[in-house]
Structure 1
Amino acid sequence: MPYPENALDLLTPYFPVFSTAPASTNVFDPSVSAILGGSNPVLLPDEGWPRCGNCEDNILIPYIQINVSSSHTPAEFRQKVGVEAQPGHTVLLQVFICAEDECAECFGERLVGAFDDAFLVRIIEVIPESANTAAVEETRAGLAADRFFIPQRVISGWKPGNPEMLHEAVNTEIEHDDPQYLEHAPAPGLKLLGFPVQGKYYTSIIDRCPKPVLPEQAAEHDVRCLLQLGTDGNIGDEPASPYEVYTVGHTWIEQCTVHPDVLSMTIGGDW
């Protein structure tokens, strides 16, 4: 869990700014920071559409694809992802989940059980022209017309929000009704960085980064919230979509503070 040295420390979250009339829906476009939902995943050359390992080889649908190389993505987030793109390449953070409908039962249930086969979280570096669009089109052509996808929304940027402190469910330094906590309680919904809304119970695919650390790194060997997904139905400040994804708890991606390539899908709540 992301415990700071001082549980009263504050972190800045970043909330999505959705385009009302986007000039492009291409995640590689310079005007785009991220694509929420949709049915157009970026695949590596010779790669097929990712599939669920639990339920009848079902496809995993795109939840969000963030262009880490975009100047419209916050510099603090790009720095924490920690991947510098080679010339002509783009770095993407991609999240796929198993969801037959907005309840996303397979994704939520497998995550609560600490199974990692109903989602995919990854950072890729790709030449835009080399993305395997043929595999995307071929897979889409074989899907039912009513196949569920999260309605596509373009995120043109991210705005810094009110600074947050560690969630009261795991914060032993302050009472939940303290005015200071109420002013800085973690916000629900889709956001970069900040603190997650955790709840009393917690399941993470990786409890602790398995990679070794040097003695001088031990004190900082922890995890941070890199991205909170907003599966509580609170995606942003626009009217709610009828097809947002809901899970039994809040979901977020934890990142090792020493090894930024180690990412873990996590769920927390009061179930």
Structure 2
Amino acid sequence: MSYLQRSFSPVYASETLPSAEIGENSMLIGGASVYLSPNESWPICGTCSKPLVPLIQLNVSSPCTPEEFRVLLPSVLPPGQALATMLQLFVCRTGDAECYTHSLLYSTSTCSWVLRIADVMRTPREVPHQHGTPGPLFLPPRLVETWAPGKEETLHEELMWDQDDSEEFYAEHEPAPGLKMLGHSVRGKFYCADDGCPRPGAHVFPEWRDLFQIGGRFDFEDKEEEDEDALETMASLGNTFIEQCVEHPDVLRLTMSGEW
């Protein structure tokens, strides 16, 4: 049985301003531009009740986002409309992201992040300010203009219980680390995520698709200390990725896998 799936690698903008907006680009990492639905309140951390900040805002409506990805999400709005369909991940930034780390390591029910597919306004929302308290601790921004086709990837070796591929085949199709779209995620011996699909009548052991890989703690070892990257806030325990329920494609889950 073949598990080969094409991966896509980010093509970054040559320059990203601190006030960057997504425009017709494919994705905004970090930054202070937040896209919400009309009349929607700013997302709040379920653990500490402070404002969440955007980590990933992927414009699924943009033609710069690969069609192979867009067709997997339900009811994607076409480009040029007042609203755009986005895949968004908001995370807590209290100090060193303690809420996020604690929640994912022990229980995802504490809701220290928001992962969703939503139809949002193309104009970013103003930052909420509470009298006498500092505003949200936004992450360094970076724009992804589009995505370049990568290699076809097979399942990570931690999942290949019934595979009998050669070492040469696996070396050619081994899942790549770091930020990418589709393909297959890098796994460790352990993982934590919500169990099952919450939809009524869903299979007790639903099939999940690797949709988007954010990265892991070992992806940033060679970076200069002053070279900040928003993705590092997710890398405290292991490789973090987003999975999609195959039966109910509007259901996503955030998963972390590592050797802890």
Q: Which TM-score applies when normalising by structure 2?
A: 0.84
> Contact 1:170–1:200 (CA<8 Å) still a contact in 2?
no
Aligned residue for 1:26? 21
> Contact 2:27–2:57 (CA<8 Å) still a contact in 1?
yes
**Larger deviation, residues 65-74 vs 86-95:** 86-95
The reply on whether 1:72 has 2:72 as its aligned counterpart is: no
> Contact 1:52–1:58 (CA<8 Å) still a contact in 2?
yes
Which of the two has greater strand per residue?
A: 2
In structure 2, relative to structure 1, the CA distance for the partners of 1:141 and 1:167 (3 Å cut) is farther
Aligned residue for 1:202? 191
Aligned residue for 1:232? 217
> Contact 2:7–2:149 (CA<8 Å) still a contact in 1?
yes
In the alignment, the residues of structure 2 paired with residue 92 and residue 198 of structure 1 have an alpha-carbon distance, to the nearest angstrom, of 26
**Larger deviation, residues 58-67 vs 112-121:** 112-121
What is the Cα deviation at residue 143 of structure 1?
A: 5.6
In the alignment, the residues of structure 2 paired with residue 125 and residue 94 of structure 1 have an alpha-carbon distance, to the nearest angstrom, of 10
Deviation by residue 1:88-119 (Cα, 9 ceiling, x = unmatched): 32111110111335x53321221122324111
The reply on whether 1:17 has 2:11 as its aligned counterpart is: yes
What is the Cα deviation at residue 225 of structure 1?
A: 1.1
> Contact 1:93–1:122 (CA<8 Å) still a contact in 2?
yes
Deviation by residue 1:221-257 (Cα, 9 ceiling, x = unmatched): 511011111243638x997833432221111111111
In the alignment, the residues of structure 1 paired with residue 217 and residue 185 of structure 2 have an alpha-carbon distance, to the nearest angstrom, of 12
Aligned residue for 1:3? none
In the alignment, the residues of structure 1 paired with residue 130 and residue 211 of structure 2 have an alpha-carbon distance, to the nearest angstrom, of 30
In structure 2, relative to structure 1, the CA distance for the partners of 1:238 and 1:270 (3 Å cut) is closer
What letter matches 1:82 in structure 2?
A: P
- The aligned runs of 1:141-220 (5 Å cut-off) are 144=134, 148-174=137-163, 178-208=167-197, 210-212=199-201
% identical aligned pairs = 34
What is the Cα deviation at residue 205 of structure 1?
A: 1.4
In structure 2, relative to structure 1, the CA distance for the partners of 1:68 and 1:166 (3 Å cut) is same
In the alignment, the residues of structure 2 paired with residue 36 and residue 25 of structure 1 have an alpha-carbon distance, to the nearest angstrom, of 10
Aligned residue for 1:242? 228
What is the Cα deviation at residue 144 of structure 1?
A: 3.1
- Structure 1: state its 5+ residue gaps: 1-5
What letter matches 1:26 in structure 2?
A: E
- Structure 2: state its 5+ residue gaps: none
In structure 2, relative to structure 1, the CA distance for the partners of 1:203 and 1:138 (3 Å cut) is closer
Aligned residue for 2:82? 88
Aligned residue for 2:40? 47
Match 1:251 to one of 216, 225, 240: 240
What is the Cα deviation at residue 128 of structure 1?
A: 2.5
In the alignment, the residues of structure 2 paired with residue 141 and residue 160 of structure 1 have an alpha-carbon distance, to the nearest angstrom, of 47
In structure 2, relative to structure 1, the CA distance for the partners of 1:138 and 1:106 (3 Å cut) is closer
> Contact 2:9–2:179 (CA<8 Å) still a contact in 1?
yes
> Contact 1:49–1:139 (CA<8 Å) still a contact in 2?
no
The reply on whether 1:111 has 2:97 as its aligned counterpart is: no
What letter matches 2:183 in structure 1?
A: G
